[in-house]
């Protein structure tokens, strides 16, 4: 009987652990991005990274403006987004912050508290388009996605600080000169040994 109780206990523990380890496998997530060269490159980068490393399928939805992405996030039609601190301060109706590290801390704390959205590590570049002030760009995800897919933050954070301004410019120029965003993203991930 003792052996039977031990077997049942071990089985219950395994039932709790195994889903957590394979939490991403076989699921589908949706990423929402602005329909731009940057949006296409980074959506493909996240999609390829997740698909290659976990088998999870990522659908990509393109939007004309940030507000539409946030509306889709609130309806749970979008699970993951890419945002920069300049746009985020605007979304929060806060004055622009010149210190981008301070801006990141502000939006990270406020998004979590007010929107239930988690900011992950910034990618590392500060360019966000011609004429725009420097800003950090990062992956953000809904709190429930963080809870249901515990491996995602660790995976996405591998991109944190991997892309400096020179690399960012090179990635964008590659797509603007006609290369497929998916190919550019995949080549970059391979060069960093992330896939």
The structural domains of the chain, ordered by start, are 28-191 (3.40.190.10)
State whether the Cα torsion 121-123-129-133 is positive or negative. Answer: positive
Listed in sequence order, the DSSP H helices in 22-84 are 37-54, 66-74
Nearest C-alpha neighbor of 121 from the set 86, 85, 87, 95 = 85
pLDDT value for 146: 86
pTM: 0.82
Reported as a single tens digit per residue, the pLDDT across 175-193 is 999 999 999 999 999 999 9
Q: In the prediction, which pLDDT does 161 show?
A: 79
Give tens-digit pLDDT for 110-132: 999 999 999 999 999 998 877 78
How confident is the prediction for the chain on average, in pLDDT? 87
Q: What is the pLDDT of residues 154-171, one digit of tens each?
A: 999 988 878 999 999 999
């Amino acid at each position: 009987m003792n052996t039977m109780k031990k077997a049942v206990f071990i089985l219950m523990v395994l039932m709790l652990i195994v889903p957590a380890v394979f939490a991403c496998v076989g699921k589908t997530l949706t990423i929402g991005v602005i329909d731009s060269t940057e949006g296409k490159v980074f959506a493909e980068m996240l999609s390829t990274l997740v698909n290659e490393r976990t088998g999870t399928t990522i659908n990509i939805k393109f939007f004309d403006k940030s507000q539409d992405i946030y509306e889709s996030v609130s309806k749970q039609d979008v699970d993951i987004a890419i945002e920069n601190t300049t746009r985020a301060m605007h979304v929060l109706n806060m004055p622009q912050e010149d210190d981008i590290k301070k801006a990141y801390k502000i939006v990270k704390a406020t998004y979590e508290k007010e929107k239930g959205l988690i900011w992950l590590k910034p990618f590392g570049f500060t360019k966000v388009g011609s004429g725009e002030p420097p800003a950090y760009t990062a992956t953000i995800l809904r709190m429930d996605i963080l809870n249901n897919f515990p491996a995602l933050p660790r995976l996405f954070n591998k991109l944190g600080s991997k892309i400096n301004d020179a690399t960012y410019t090179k990635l964008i120029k590659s797509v603007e000169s006609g290369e497929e965003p998916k190919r550019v993203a995949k080549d970059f991930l391979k060069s960093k040994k992330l896939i």
